[in-house]
A and B are shown apart, each in its own frame.
Chain A
Amino acid sequence: MSVPAVEVRNLTKVFPLSLRKEYLVAVEDLSLTVNAGEVYGLIGPNGSGKSTTMKVVLGLMAPTTGSTKVFGIESRDVRSRNQIGFLPENPYFYKHLTAWETLKFYGKLCGMRGKELKDRAGELLALVDLEGARDRRLSGYSKGMLQRIGLAQALIQRPKLVVLDEPTAGVDPIGSRQIRDLIFKLKDDGISVFLCSHLLEQVQEVCDQVGIIANGRMWREGSLHDLIAIEDQTELVLRDASPELLDKIKALIESEAGGCAELIRSGHPRTTLETLFLDIVRESREAQDLKDREKLAAKEAKKQKPSSK
């Protein structure tokens, strides 16, 4: 088996909140694997630790405990970044540079030069459909355009892994569609993609693997197919089925000996990722509430101790 593109092992990230001894656990004992050539989507509500996880993977932050590797190289090793293209959330680049200069700048940072760099920059501008705005400074770019130049920048050195933090935030439907198509194209080219989002429709369309994260913990992980499958139910999807055929099937089910199978519904298959997501968020909130209540109770207990003395 080939080396996984991203390997996160028991990652915990704790932020000190203030000079007093208060901490915020942003990510807790999180493990995930992005296999080479796969599109992995991390979904979770705001503040659940998606960006934090990505920053640790990119070496922008050090893990408190646990480890992250990119193609087998520890994230803190500069060489791991050779194979990564990163698009941060709400990216801004040097406003004083034009799109063309921006791409050349990042290309040079990756050690590209001359014709190779020029060709690649031109290619990418075409890919993200910004050829017309090539010589305009980024200070005059719209949100969607910035997102696209961000993508182009991430791809400049032909990385084998692309990390996208909410690639479609603030982008209109047409723009998100373009970005989605682009992700498909990357996948076709054998590039691994690690993205996070809270836009479920997008994730379910493009991702092979999905992880659902809430309160810094991984709640469910697996292929999209497995995640939304309900074990004791079977779905038949037919094309051009005549009413007669459907009646026959119904009759067949009813006539089944023992009669324990029943037809629950028939119709077009629908998403259940959203339901799953909402369930998990609710579940995690309840867990959090429980924790908070326990904490509060512990505090109360502490308070009462001295008075009882």
Chain B
Amino acid sequence: MKLNRIVKKALTALAILLLFGLAKSPFENGLSRKLQEAKLIAPIPAGGLGGLIGQSTFLAVLGGLRPLVGIYTTLHAFDAWSFKEWDTVERDYAIITTLLPDDIDSWKTGAWHMAYNAAASELYDESVPPTVRKRNGRAWIIKGVEYLKKGIEQNPRSAVLQHELGDIYRQQLEEPCLAAKHYKLSMEGDYPKSFAQRFYAYSLARCPGREREAYDLLMRIYHDPEEKRTPSVIKRILELEEKLNIPAANRIPDPDPDLEILRRYPNAKLD
């Protein structure tokens, strides 16, 4: 009869907990939704996570160790980078950004590793014939682009990632129109405005069919006292004046002394 009482008590306790669970559930679920919307708790990790990382890591992630695992993997990727193990770097960054999907810097660093470091090491790998080199290098650049696009999907408001993507299109792939598109998007974010605008203008100037637009923008920058007349701005304007046959009267004055730098370093690569 005593044991019966204990069992009865346990069942009562369980019932109380269940009722409490029932009562608090709507509040808890609502709060959870609100927190996800406010980006305060992680959205449910993407499906690929299970296959990507080991079980222990998975548990660690659940136990609130997410940032620590993120850091560990970052260090791991750093090691891999110094040994030029590009596949490892790629996988590590996939993990890092799955764990920390809103860590902009990780998206940026990962893409940089792929599109610049990995690509360069393939491009200058002398043990491989030049054509193969070029193809491999380009493959890494594309990987970087794909990776960044995923980052942008997760962080649609991030101007930094848009700018980064623009950079890859401009510097690595020489796709000025695409570059311009992403620089333009970065102008809408919290990226330093004059910076974003200049790069947009640079790329636009090289995008066939949009020279007029580019010229107008560059002239606006040129005349804006707040903006810097960088050598690149002047160089682009000079190019476009030729292309668009701007009447001599409307052309900007002799770039000297603004292009002082060009004179001092005749081989400087300005694009």
CB–CB under 8 A between A and B in the complex?
Answer: yes
Residues of A within 8 A of B3 (CB): 16, 19
Interface residues of B in 1-33 (CB under 8 A from A): 2-3
Interface size class of A (residues with CB under 8 A): under 10
Complex CA distance for A44 and B217, rounded to whole angstroms: 105
Residues of B within 8 A of A19 (CB): 3
Over the window 57-76 of chain A, the binary record of Cβ atoms lying under 8 Å from chain B Cβ atoms (1 yes, 0 no) is: 00000001000000000000
Give the total number of A-B pairs whose CB atoms are below 8 A apart: 7
CB of A14 within 8 A of chain B? Answer: yes
Complex CA distance for A16 and B3, rounded to whole angstroms: 7
Residues of A within 8 A of B2 (CB): 14-16, 23, 64
Closest-by-CB residue of A relative to B3 is A16
Complex CA distance for A23 and B3, rounded to whole angstroms: 10
Q: What's the minimum C-beta distance from A61 to chain B, rounded to whole angstroms?
A: 12
Residue in A14, A16, A19 whose Cβ sees the most chain B Cβ within 10 Å = A16
Complex CA distance for A23 and B1, rounded to whole angstroms: 10
Closest-by-CB residue of A relative to B2 is A16
Residues of B within 8 A of A16 (CB): 2-3
Q: What's the minimum C-beta distance from A198 to chain B, rounded to whole angstroms?
A: 28
Complex CA distance for A64 and B3, rounded to whole angstroms: 12
Q: What's the minimum C-beta distance from B201 to chain A, rounded to whole angstroms?
A: 72
Complex CA distance for A16 and B6, rounded to whole angstroms: 11
Closest-by-CB residue of A relative to B4 is A16
Interface residues of A in 1-30 (CB under 8 A from B): 14-16, 19, 23
Q: What's the minimum C-beta distance from B2 to chain A, rounded to whole angstroms?
A: 5
Q: What's the minimum C-beta distance from B169 to chain A, rounded to whole angstroms?
A: 66
Closest-by-CB residue of B relative to A23 is B2
Complex CA distance for A42 and B35, rounded to whole angstroms: 65
Q: What's the minimum C-beta distance from B219 to chain A, rounded to whole angstroms?
A: 79
Over the window 108-130 of chain B, the binary record of Cβ atoms lying under 8 Å from chain A Cβ atoms (1 yes, 0 no) is: 00000000000000000000000
Residues of B within 8 A of A15 (CB): 2
Over the window 179-206 of chain B, the binary record of Cβ atoms lying under 8 Å from chain A Cβ atoms (1 yes, 0 no) is: 0000000000000000000000000000
Interface residues of A in 59-98 (CB under 8 A from B): 64
Residues of B within 8 A of A64 (CB): 2
Q: What's the minimum C-beta distance from A203 to chain B, rounded to whole angstroms?
A: 33
Complex CA distance for A64 and B5, rounded to whole angstroms: 12
Complex CA distance for A277 and B124, rounded to whole angstroms: 102
Complex CA distance for A64 and B1, rounded to whole angstroms: 10
**List of 6 A-B pairs having minimum Cβ-Cβ separation, nearest first:** A16-B2, A16-B3, A19-B3, A14-B2, A64-B2, A23-B2
* Interfacial residues, chain A to chain B (CB-CB below 8 A): 14-16, 19, 23, 64
Q: List 7 A-B contacts (CB under 8 A).
A: A14-B2, A15-B2, A16-B2, A16-B3, A19-B3, A23-B2, A64-B2
